[in-house]
Amino acid sequence: MKTITTLFIFLFISQTLAAENSYFKGDTIRYRFDKMLVEVSSTNALSKSPEKIQMQERIKQVQKVLGEMTISSPADDERVTISFRETGDGMTTWNFKEISLSREKKSTKNLAVFDDGTIFEKEYGRYCLLFFYREAEVKIFVDNLAGLEFFLSETFNKKAQQAAEFLAKETIRINNKNYVRACLDLRGDDVKGYIQNNSNKTSDMLIISGGVGSGWVKNTFVSDFNLKFGIGFGKKGMFKNLYSVEWSLMYDFSESNENDFFKVNHFLSLYWDHNFSNTPQQDKWYGFSFGCLKKRNNDFFKNNTFRFTINKKINDTFSVSPEIYFNDFFKNVYPGIRLQVAF
């Protein structure tokens, strides 16, 4: 009993830490315009360029909100940071509680130095607008807030398109296992870009999880408790592949009586699951497993029973698993299906 209690506490702590873990924003792209700088840190450099993150709509919202606020001008050696945090799928509504102001001293310049000796200023201006998203962070450095009008101009649209085309062309050679550091100078007619690849910080981790399930096998309602151990491999902060082993206890109600109620059968299964999505908000997990009956406690399953399962993860909690059970190399084949709940 003590071992089971300890295991449940460990599972609870593991799941809590996993829920609080944010996405690793491995790519950082800086866009230098006249008298302003835009920095985008994201999970994917190409999908979060200025033209793709609805910059103009966000600037209009910012101007409307800031028009109702009074912000004292920063001193010559200060920078004011205005932070906005997204509260849903989009920034459609804000209130003053979702905005924070901070001031900091600008003692020295913050520079990015590339392998070829190129130096690029990482911060600029007296004001910084900081946007927090689940999969990206955007900083806009300007000398004065009136300069935000630039983002509503046709010139900005043209420059943003040039930057997107440049990145799409240059990042073809970038391996998916690397993350990107890039600075783009958009002050002239042509884009001047500096790209530096770095080995990606690993997001691989050991995973332990448990759950309960119920389903229909051999025209009988079944329930199960499962415990799974595995290792997950990621790319750019997203889990892509999960390899695991599961021990499950299945109860079928077929031979229960008052004197002998709990007779469970034990299955050992090997799993492979893959996330087919490229966006952190829309995971698409599919996989399969192959298992065998390791401990038989009633006549519901025959000796040498195996099962093949297709796994579809609905969300972080629920998954559905169509199954095929068989014994002795596909003799006595019968289907099944289970709905599982993870905790």
Summarised one tens digit per residue, pLDDT across range 244-285 is: 999 999 988 766 555 556 788 999 999 999 988 766 556 789
- Residues 159 and 296 occupy one common structural domain: no
197-231 confidence digits (pLDDT tens): 554 445 567 888 889 999 999 888 999 999 999 99
- Residues 35 and 177 occupy one common structural domain: yes
Please identify, among 145, 175, 199, the residue that sits at the C-terminal boundary of a domain: 199
Determine, yes or no, domain membership for 19: no
- Residues 189 and 173 occupy one common structural domain: yes
- Residues 185 and 209 occupy one common structural domain: no
Residue % of the chain over a pLDDT of 90: 22
Distance of CA 191 to the CA centre of its chain: 31
Which single residue is written with the structure tokens 């993860």?
313
315-333 confidence digits (pLDDT tens): 878 999 999 999 887 788 9
- Residues 208 and 192 occupy one common structural domain: no
Q: What is the DSSP letter of 72?
A: P
pLDDT of residue 34: 84
> Is residue 305 scored above 90 in pLDDT?
yes
For helices 55-66 and 154-170, the axis angle rounded to 10 degrees is: 140
Determine, yes or no, domain membership for 212: yes
> Is residue 9 scored above 50 in pLDDT?
no
Residues with Cβ within 8 Å of 93's Cβ and at least 6 positions away in sequence, in order, are: 87
> Is residue 8 scored above 60 in pLDDT?
no
> Which residue segment(s) compose the domain that 238 sits in?
202-342
Q: Copy the structure tokens of residue 173.
A: 């050679």
- Residues 61 and 183 occupy one common structural domain: yes
Mean pLDDT of the chain: 78
- Residues 157 and 219 occupy one common structural domain: no
Determine, yes or no, domain membership for 111: yes
pLDDT of residue 280: 55
pLDDT of residue 164: 83
Nearest CA-CA partner of 68 in 98, 88, 96, 29: 96
pTM to 2 decimals? 0.50
Q: Which of 27-41, 127-141, 240-254 has the lowest mean pLDDT?
A: 127-141
Please identify, among 166, 199, 232, the residue that sits at the C-terminal boundary of a domain: 199
Q: How many CB atoms lie within 10 A of CB 31?
A: 23
Query: Distance between CA atoms of 276 and 18, rounded to whole angstroms?
Result: 20
Please identify, among 181, 199, 217, the residue that sits at the C-terminal boundary of a domain: 199
Question: Interior CA angle at 195 toward 190 and 198, to 5°?
Answer: 170
Query: How many separate domains does the chain show?
Result: 2
